[in-house]
Amino acid sequence: MSGRLHGKTAVVTAAAQGIGRAAALAFAREGANLAICTSHSMSELNQVADEARALGVKVVARQCDIAEDAAVSAFVGRVRTELGRIDVAVNLAGYRAERPLLEETFEAWSRNIAVNLTGAFLLTRAALRALREQGGGAIVHIASRAAIRAKEGHGAYAASKAGILQLTQMAAVEGARHGIRVNCVCPGLIDTPMTRGMYDMSATIAAWKEVCPLGRAGTPDDVAKAMLFLASDDACVVTGQHLSVNGGQWCS
């Protein structure tokens, strides 16, 4: 199999569904061996693993709570043992609970920070160590349009995603001398199982069309393609950046 990631190994978190699933399969189609994990349904993750293996790549699929230090270290260690190396780490694990700040609970705030920001830090630290030993690689995070522009009711979620922008830049600065690139994508409205569970999608998409020049919601594949670009050698001099995947919302 040939492809932009042929012979490389990519770690993809939250790969059981949505953007994580799309990213894992996009990377597999480009020849990457995969280490995928989820904190939820192993049956869904195993389906993704089977689809990837059918493309001719090696796959390690495990359950992992991305917000737990020991769990992330153990997962990355197992990946290096079973697949030999890590070339790309893709952080897609996320939690979203939306409330005005005055109504925010400590528990919900803590969970947003733990999964979205602390989880990103734990994967970044583990990946930086592995990539430094190998002489380079790429890390790609997922942030959000909420990280850039405030919207009422998105307090804890937006704060955690804004932290990822700074984590991305700091890791890019520290990783550069070791040949490590670090970037993130900031999606707008993406039609995923998570968003469908949170919103009336017909009404939400109709409202989105009023502020989005391209006039449609994105798909998981749209985000996966942006991540694939940032992970590949096509982006060999791109680091410390955030790439908005939002249909041009900022233009209107």
Q: What are the residue numbers of the active site?
A: 157
Which DSSP string corresponds to the chain?
--STTTT-EEEESSTTSHHHHHHHHHHHHTT-EEEEEESS-HHHHHHHHHHHHTTT--EEEEE--TT-HHHHHHHHHHHHHHHS---EEEE-------B-GGG--HHHHHHHIIIIIIHHHHHHHHHHHHHHHHT-EEEEEE--GGGTS--TTBHHHHHHHHHHHHHHHHHHHHHHTTTEEEEEEEE-SB--HHHHHHS-HHHHHHHHHHH-TT-S-B-HHHHHHHHHHHHSGGGTT--S-EEEESTTGGG-
- Can you tell me the distance from the alpha carbon of 164 to that of 54, in angstroms, rounded to the nearest whole number? 34
Q: In the structure encoding, which two tokens stand for residue 112, read together?
A: 């947003």
Half-sphere exposure of 50 (CA within 13 A, CB side): 6
